[in-house]
Amino acid sequence: MLNRLLTRLFWSAVTLLATSVLTFFLVNAVPGDVARSIAGAKASPEVLQQVREKYHLNDPVLVRLGHYLVQLARGDLGHSFVTDQSVSEAILTRFPTTAALCVTGLILWMLAAVPLGVLMAKFRGSWFDRTMLVAATLSLSLPAFWLARMLQYWLAFRLGWFPVAGFRSFAHLLLPAATLAIISGGYYALLIQANMMEVLNAPCIAAARAKGLSETAILFRHALRNALIPVVTVLGTDVAALLGGVIFTENVFALPGIGTLAVQSVFNLDVPMIMGTVLFSATLVVSVNLVVDLLYQWIDPRIKADY
Amino acid sequence: MTPKRGGVLHLAQPSEIRSLDPAIAFDSFSIPVVHLLFRGLLDYDNATGLVLDQAKDWNISSDGKIYTFHLRSGVRFANGREVEAEDYVFAFERILNPQTGSPGETYFLGILGAREFVDGKAPHVIGLRAPDKTTLVIELKEPQFTFRYVLAMTFACPVPREVVQQYGTEFQSHLVGTGPYRLAEWRRGISCRLQRNTYYQGPDGFVDGVEIMIGCDDTVMTMMLERGEIDQVPLASPAQAARFKRDPGLRSWLTLVDAAETDYFFMNTEMKPFDDAQVRQAVNFAIDRERLLKLAGGFATVAHGPVPPVIPWSNPGLPRYDFNPEKARALLREAGFPSGFKTELWYSGDQPIFARLAEGVQQDLRQVGIQAELRPANFTAFDAKVTTRHQVPCGIWGWFQDYPDPSDFLDVLLNGERITENECNNTAFYNNPEVNRYLDAAAKNLDPGERTRLFRQAENLIMQDAPWAPLIHEQIPVLYHPRVHGTEPHPVWLWRYEHMWLDP
């Protein structure tokens, strides 16, 4: 078990290193004079030279990569080219907003997906099941940026039920979280329904029915618990997709999270900030996958046999 | 209406405030905010005239080299410490110090001893002196008419030495200035909150505070404005501005600011076929500028010369190039290009207006046989390419004034003596010794009438030589909620938050 964990940790580190190197080469391949971008078109040659020295811009790209990796090994993500703010500080300031959005979104989508999935399984083949199937498929197909803009336009701007954008109170999180809930909820409702169908046909459920348990208890206490096990794995692998949705949602609602930071950095060609946000997101995805892998063994004892 | 005090002005900006340090800030979003926190010796009246701000009087020696200012008594920084002339000396040397990385350094290089200080050959700038606490003396190497405008830029605001030395590069998170407001909180990239500076004794600053939300796109800002969540949309897109202009209920929310800027088509006079003046003149005749106005969404005026009309300046004898494709074809024939030619037209794709202008110019040129292949690039790539010698035959660029004087366009962008191999703002690489002589003479001349004559002669020659085809002067659409007053546009500051006040 320990060996397995160490191997996973090793490959996680390799993945992150590869991500850093690849991103470094990609952002450095963008043509242009970064010093002019930092100091402005009207900066003097002395100031431009100062900027180039400060950020090692005169060095060959491999030397710069070396500087970056050494800096990274010390836990230093560098400073923004644009604002001179520490990249770590920028990420840590914004992460709570992204986390709050993800957690609220997760709660909303599970609140919607779990009862829907269970009821679709219970009433399989009914008009309710068919209607929900269409709705769930539709929600799966909606682009996050479009849905976010529509919710914002109609519910916030036209009807005034929610704030349009920004993050000054919990109310500002509701529409962005609802966007995430809608684009992900349909998929999870279908997943839960499929799992429930399988579990409801299992001998243990027949045994529960034979014992005279109520249908509600069978559905929610016995069947659902088993049906949720595969959902945990999918949730883990879905973190990357979730972050993609978060980027669009945060930008539409001007939420000051990691997503808006990433997009602003790209527009500003702020290399350290782009590197920082990519690396942070990669770390998040890799860590969640690792945790889910480990959790899964704990949740489903059958998996242990494979280790 | 009499301005009322109180309330909080809610603002939003599409992108990060790069810096609020007066030595660093130099973009159109940051400067109006810096002007709330920092004030200096001079300011502008409601137009382009200079007025005293934190100095009580000033004089310029008869040879134009020595500026002497006497500071108002009782002016204090937001930390309560009284401002002294030494604070200005410190602030100016800080800008000149390459370690600061100030984009304003070049504006102060005219001070005696500034170059030696920048090169590390002198510990101080000998042309900057503070003989007593309230007297500041600035000595220039040679007369420079425009230096007075430099002193009205936010770069020239005093900063308290002890605070800068305490925080070093972190000063921008602990800003202390002499403006009507002080920085209460700045969450980088998220929001910024200003509160009244209780030590400020000047007339500006009606609202009690200013809150700025950062990172909203144009569509979101417009929705927030209409819902009353914010009070201003700076630099609204032409599409949003057009909607407000069309809607009778919203029309009064729109203010158009005539920007002191010129968008132009430059032709590299060192590269074929644009080394031929007849070709450049043909291009000027080929462009339908009235049509370009429509492509700019109608928020612009036609440019007939390099200097925008917002600058108090007129040149009745300026050669004009009205749209005349026949004449353009004839000139091309005379120049030996009866079937036209092929070229590359570069522009920065980051700015939608430049993309529209490039397409418009491409279509006009095609009508006279010139096949221009569009070469969009991101701004940094574009900037690096067009400012390097012998790289780009032609392209589209815009220049926004630093101060309201013709020299900021003619001298900075078209003086051949400023041509360098790289990072050259004279992207046409235009070099006419006669023009250079006029521009050099105007830079040192202190007589406004004589300067006007010299600039007119230079501009007339420039337009005859036609290194540029001036295209348009943009107007900036700004939207305000009706509860905001004091929103009159300003030719230099664009808008002045310190003059705005709110309905109770």
**Residue whose entry in the numeric block shows the structure tokens 């001070």:** B111
User: How far B234 CA sits from the closest chain A CA (Å)?
Assistant: 16
Q: Positive or negative, the Cα torsion across B87, B88, B90, B91?
A: positive
Structure tokens at B492: 């230099």
What is the pairing mode between strands B342-348 and B394-400?
parallel
- How confident is the model at residue A302, as a pLDDT? 64
Please name the member of A48, A49, A85 whose beta carbon is closest to the beta carbon of B188.
A85
3-state SS class at B410: helix
Structure tokens at B336: 């030996």
Q: What is the mean pLDDT of chain B?
A: 94
- How confident is the model at residue A287, as a pLDDT? 87
Confirm if B483 and B231 have CB atoms less than 8 A apart: yes
- How far is the CA of A52 from the CAs of A36, A48, A93, A98, in angstroms? 9, 6, 28, 33
Q: Do B169 and A41 touch (CB under 8 A)?
A: no
Identify the closest residue of chain A to B100 by CA–CA distance.
Answer: A47
Q: Alpha-carbon distance B99 to B275, whole Å?
A: 40
Q: Do B425 and A30 touch (CB under 8 A)?
A: no
Q: Do B223 and A45 touch (CB under 8 A)?
A: no
Structure tokens at B230: 């914010």
pLDDT score of B162 more than 60: yes
- How confident is the model at residue A305, as a pLDDT? 45
Identify the closest residue of chain B to A34 by CA–CA distance.
Answer: B380
Q: Do A164 and B229 touch (CB under 8 A)?
A: yes
Q: Alpha-carbon distance A76 to B306, whole Å?
A: 47
Q: Do B106 and A49 touch (CB under 8 A)?
A: no
Mean pLDDT on B6-29 = 88
- Reported as a pLDDT band with limits 50, 70 and 90, residue B304 is very high
Q: Do A45 and B229 touch (CB under 8 A)?
A: no
Per-residue pLDDT tens digits for B350-397: 788 999 999 999 999 999 999 999 999 877 788 888 989 999 999 999
Mean pLDDT on B214-230 = 93
- How confident is the model at residue A139, as a pLDDT? 87
**Residue whose entry in the numeric block shows the structure tokens 């546009």:** B489
Closest among B380, B332, B68 to A35, alpha carbons compared: B380
Per-residue pLDDT tens digits for B70-123: 999 999 999 999 999 999 999 999 999 988 888 888 899 999 999 999 999 999
Chain A, 32-61: which have a CB under 8 Å from a chain B CB? 32-34, 36-37, 39-51, 54
Q: Alpha-carbon distance B385 to B407, whole Å?
A: 25
Structure tokens at A279: 């690396």
3-state SS class at B186: strand
Closest among B215, B236, B257 to B12, alpha carbons compared: B215
Q: How many CB atoms lie within 10 A of CB B131?
A: 10
**In a 10 Å sphere around its CB, with 0-12 CB exposed, 13-18 middle and 19+ buried, how is residue B333 labelled?**
middle
| Chain A residues closer than 8 Å to B216 by CB | 165-166, 254
Q: DSSP for B454-474?
A: HHHHHHHHHHHH-SEEEEEEE
- How confident is the model at residue B95, as a pLDDT? 94
Asked if the peptide bond before residue B273 counts as cis, ω within 30 degrees of 0, the response is yes
Per-residue pLDDT tens digits for B424-450: 889 999 999 999 999 999 998 999 999
Identify the closest residue of chain B to A43 by CA–CA distance.
Answer: B103
Structure tokens at B172: 């921008």
Please name the member of A32, A82, A251 whose beta carbon is closest to the beta carbon of B380.
A32
- How confident is the model at residue B245, as a pLDDT? 93
| Chain A residues closer than 8 Å to B214 by CB | 256
Residue B203 DSSP code: S
Residue B402 DSSP code: S
Identify the closest residue of chain B to A86 by CA–CA distance.
Answer: B188
- How confident is the model at residue A42, as a pLDDT? 67
Confirm if B103 and B24 have CB atoms less than 8 A apart: yes
**Residue whose entry in the numeric block shows the structure tokens 């971008």:** A37
Q: Do B423 and A267 touch (CB under 8 A)?
A: no
Confirm if B161 and B176 have CB atoms less than 8 A apart: no
| Chain A residues closer than 8 Å to B191 by CB | 256
Q: Do B213 and A42 touch (CB under 8 A)?
A: no
A159 touches chain B (CB under 8 A): no
Structure tokens at A17: 């290193």
- pLDDT, tens digit only, all 307 positions of chain A: 678 788 888 888 898 889 888 988 888 887 767 787 777 766 777 778 878 888 888 888 889 888 888 888 888 998 888 888 899 999 999 999 999 999 999 899 889 888 899 889 888 889 999 999 899 888 888 888 999 999 999 999 999 999 999 998 999 999 999 999 998 888 888 999 998 888 888 888 888 888 888 888 888 878 888 888 878 778 777 777 777 788 899 999 999 999 999 998 888 888 899 999 999 989 988 888 888 777 777 776 665 544 4
Mean pLDDT on B275-299 = 95
Q: Alpha-carbon distance A51 to A289, whole Å?
A: 40
| B94, B100, B105, best to mutate vs chain A, most A CBs in 10 Å | B105
- How far is the CA of B383 from the CAs of A31, B268, B348, B379, B398, in angstroms? 10, 15, 8, 6, 12
Q: Alpha-carbon distance B434 to B452, whole Å?
A: 16
- How confident is the model at residue A157, as a pLDDT? 96
Q: Alpha-carbon distance B247 to B269, whole Å?
A: 46
Residue B450 DSSP code: H
pLDDT score of B344 more than 50: yes
Mean pLDDT on B18-46 = 91
What is the pairing mode between strands B342-348 and B371-377?
parallel
Q: DSSP for chain A?
A: -HHHHHHHHHHHHHHHHHHHHHHHHHHHTS-S-HHHHHH-TT--HHHHHHHHHHTTTTS-HHHHHHHHHHHHHTT---B-TTT--BHHHHHHHHHHHHHHHHHHHHHHHHHHHHHHHHHHHHTTTSHHHHHHHHHHHHHHHS-HHHHHHHHIIIIIIIS-SS-SS--SSTHHHHHHHHHHHHHHHHHHHHHHHHHHHHHHTSHHHHHHHHTT--HHHIIIIIIHHHHTHHHHHHHHHTHHHHHHHHHHHHHHTT--SHHHHHHHHHHHT-HHHHHHHHHHHHHHHHHHHHHHHHHHHHH-GGGGGG-
User: How far B100 CA sits from the closest chain A CA (Å)?
Assistant: 8
Question: Could you give the angle at which helices B448-465 and B277-286 cross, rounded to 10 degrees?
Answer: 90
Q: Do B101 and A54 touch (CB under 8 A)?
A: yes
Mean pLDDT on B53-68 = 95
Q: State the complex-level ipTM.
A: 0.83
Q: Do A83 and B188 touch (CB under 8 A)?
A: yes
- How confident is the model at residue A306, as a pLDDT? 47
Closest among B245, B269, B268 to B255, alpha carbons compared: B245
Per-residue pLDDT tens digits for B419-428: 988 878 899 9
Structure tokens at A88: 């770590």
Identify the closest residue of chain A to B226 by CA–CA distance.
Answer: A157
- How far is the CA of A96 from the CAs of A41, A103, A278, in angstroms? 36, 10, 17
Closest among A176, A180, A153 to A166, alpha carbons compared: A176
